[in-house]
Amino acid sequence: MGRKWNNIKEKKASKDANTSRIYAKFGRQIYVAAKQGEPDPESNRALKVVLERAKTYSVPKAIIDRAIEKAKGSADENYDELRYEGFGPNGSMVIVDALTNNVNRTASEVRAAFGKNGGNMGVSGSVAYMFDATAVIGLEGKTADEVLEILMDADIDARDILEEDEMVIVYAEPDQFHAMQEAFKNAGITEFAVAELTMLPQSYVTLPEEALAQFQKMIDALEDLEDVQRVYHNVDLGE
């Protein structure tokens, strides 16, 4: 299961070169989550998930506050949540989640990002069945045994608990995400290195060098799109 963490780690490691883009995407996610319910994370679980994830990416408080205040105000921007599925070189699979106020524009841009980089968009369901929705929490300063004890005391079953890169990574069902966070917070853990609700592939493919370069170009093109919020794939990016 270590390859799963490598893919998440790669996304987080690349964030420093794209902070303004990432902050803008979080601003939109926070606004949409806050508009869907109360603009209070204690009563709005969707907002709480986004804010927990934003903390692991060091999103400035000013950006978070601005998005929540915008949701509280008279702003009436409507966004559709869309999921696209597609294929890259050598059996690689990709899922793209977007928030858009122009469905036709976003579909066209996503299709072009696939097509211009050796991939193609598939129909709904053509890829997603090969991925599992998963809650992932990463903790520093704890051992796997200590984490397991905390989860057992809270009667929480994790799919897996691994020690990697001086961190303990917990994989669990999505509906355990909030319960895990509460269990860790009750144990005195208030900071998470990773706090993700993500899509993890059931198996990975390894691409030859040339295909990997093309695949990475395709992923970069997708992630550069303003409407695209998250990109998941099944390629082993290595160490």
pLDDT for the residue numbered 4: 58
pTM over 0.85: yes
Residues 121 and 226 in one domain: yes
Answer for the pair 9, 173: CB distance below 8 angstroms, yes or no. Answer: no
pLDDT for the residue numbered 232: 94
* Distance between CA atoms of residues 68 and 34, nearest Å: 6
Closest to 199 measured CA to CA, from 32, 8, 52: 8
Phi, psi of 47 (to 5 degrees): -65, -40
pLDDT for the residue numbered 7: 57
Within-domain flag for 238 = no
Residues 121 and 209 in one domain: yes
What domain count does the chain have? Answer: 3
Residues 118 and 135 in one domain: no
pLDDT digits (tens, 9 = 90+) for 72-119: 887 678 899 999 999 998 889 999 999 999 999 999 999 999 999 999
Numbers of helices and strands, H then E, in the chain: 8, 8
Residues 48 and 109 in one domain: no
Q: Which residues of the chain have pLDDT under 50?
A: 1-2
* Distance between CA atoms of residues 209 and 206, nearest Å: 9
User: Could you please report the per-residue DSSP string of 26-43?
Assistant: HHHHHHHHHHHS-S-TTT
What residues contact residue 230 under an 8 Å CB cut-off, 6+ apart? 96, 97, 198
pLDDT for the residue numbered 42: 87
Residues 28 and 38 in one domain: yes
